[in-house]
Structure 1
Amino acid sequence: MDFQNRVGSKPGSGGVASESQGNVDRRERLRKLALETVDLAKDPYFMKNHLGSYECARILLFQVAYPEIADKMQPRHRFMSAFEQKVEAPDKRWQYLLFACEPYETVAFKIPNDDVDKSEGKFFSNWDKDGKTFTLQLTFAVGEQDKNQPAPPPPRVQLRFY
Structure 2
Amino acid sequence: MDYQNRIGSKKGSGGVASESQLNVHRKQRVSRLISSQFDFESDPYVFKNHLGSLECRLCLTTHSSSESYLTHTQGRKHQLNLARRATLDAKQQGGTHQATGTTSVQKKSYVKIGRPGYKVVKIRDVDAMELGLLITIKYPELKQGEEPLYRFMSAYEQSVDTDSQGWQYLVVHGEPYENVAFKIPSTEITRSWGYFDEDLKEYYVQLFFKSPEELT
From 189, 192, 211, the counterpart of 1:116: 189
Q: 1:86 to 1:68 in 2, by over 3 A?
A: same
Counterparts in 2 of 1:56-135, with a 5 A limit? 56=124, 58-118=131-191, 123-135=192-204
Q: Using the alignment, how far apart are the partners of 1:27 and 1:99 within structure 2?
A: 30
Counterparts in 2 of 1:5-20, with a 5 A limit? none
SS state at 2:156 partner: coil
Q: Which has the higher helix share?
A: 2
Percent of aligned positions with the same letter in both sequences? 39
Deviation at 1:27, TM superposition (A): 4.5
Deviation at 1:81, TM superposition (A): 0.7
- Aligned pair count reads 98
Q: Deviations over 1:110-130 (max 9, x none)?
A: 000011113xxxx33211111
Q: Deviations over 1:79-137 (max 9, x none)?
A: 0111111211052310000001111000000000011113xxxx332111111111011
Deviation at 1:23, TM superposition (A): 5.1
SS state at 1:68 partner: coil
Q: Using the alignment, how far apart are the partners of 2:177 and 2:155 within structure 1?
A: 22
Say whether the 8 Å CA contact 1:83–1:90 is kept in structure 2: no
Q: Using the alignment, how far apart are the partners of 2:123 and 2:143 within structure 1?
A: 35
Q: Using the alignment, how far apart are the partners of 1:110 and 1:127 within structure 2?
A: 21
Q: Using the alignment, how far apart are the partners of 2:179 and 2:169 within structure 1?
A: 12
Gaps of 5+ in 1: 1-15, 31-53, 145-162
- Structure 2 residue aligned with 1:156: none
Gaps of 5+ in 2: 1-9, 22-121, 125-129
For the aligned residue pairs, the C-alpha RMSD in angstroms reads 3.1
Deviation at 1:73, TM superposition (A): 0.7
TM-score norm. by structure 1 comes to 0.51
Q: Which has the larger radius of gyration?
A: 1
Matched AA of 2:131 = R
Q: 1:27 to 1:113 in 2, by over 3 A?
A: closer
Q: Using the alignment, how far apart are the partners of 2:149 and 2:123 within structure 1?
A: 27
Q: Using the alignment, how far apart are the partners of 1:55 and 1:130 within structure 2?
A: 24
